[in-house]
Amino acid sequence: MKPGAATIRLMLGTAAVLLAAGLNYAQQIPAARAKNFTSHTYYEPPNERQMKLKLSGAEASPLPGGLQDIRELTIETYDVSGKTEAIVKAPQCTYSLFDGVASSPGHIELKSGDGRFFTEGDGFLWRQADSLLIISNHVHTVIKGGTFKFSAP
């Protein structure tokens, strides 16, 4: 059963409340239409000044059911020292505001902060709660600098 307009408004309203309280991942994606948006998440105290995640996109459009259509998504994660841990890029994805799940039949790229680990594929699902990224097809990984030495030297 599809949620009605009132339900959506209620859900969006709930998300806005959670956003204001800083308790929900929904704070990272604008609930309304937006262009060239960027959102930041910070670590818990005592590292509250340190950015944990930066999420940006070229465009976000609301869809029914608390979903957002995101274009040119980029997610960057940082450790507590500010060093980049990982960068995720996807030309398009659908993001659920309420369960923090992003998915797309399209392309995705994941790169480590130092650039030595790179993986890509087509079709993905990302569950933010447990940091799980599932790539459905054509997975390709490049590890540079010999970090994967399954060989005789």
Site string for another protein, 54-83 (x = CB under 8 A): -------------------------x----
Query: Does 36 engage in binding with another protein (CB under 8 A)?
Result: no
Please work out the total of residues on this chain that contact another protein, with binding judged by CB under 8 A.
35
Q: Can residue 99 be called a binding residue for another protein (CB under 8 A)?
A: no
Least Cα distance to 112 among 70, 71, 141 occurs for: 141
Instruction: Give the nearest distance from C-beta 153 to another protein in angstroms.
Output: 6
133 belongs to the binding site for another protein (CB under 8 A)? yes
Q: Look at residues 2, 33, 28 and name the one whose alpha carbon lies nearest to residue 15.
A: 28
Decide whether 79 or 99 has the Cβ nearer to another protein. Answer: 79
Q: How far is the CB of 101 from another protein (least distance, A)?
A: 14
Asked if residue 106 binds another protein (CB under 8 A), the reply is no
Interaction of residue 137 with another protein, rule CB under 8 A:
yes
With beta carbons less than 8 A apart as the criterion, state whether 26 and 97 touch: yes
Residue 61, token pair as written in the block: 């459009």
Q: How far is the CB of 138 from another protein (least distance, A)?
A: 8
Residue 96's DSSP bridge partners are 67, 101
- Overall size of the chain counted in residues: 153
Helix/strand/coil for 84: strand
Of 118, 123, 87, the C-alpha closest to 103 is 123
- Asked if 2 interacts with another protein (CB under 8 A), we say no
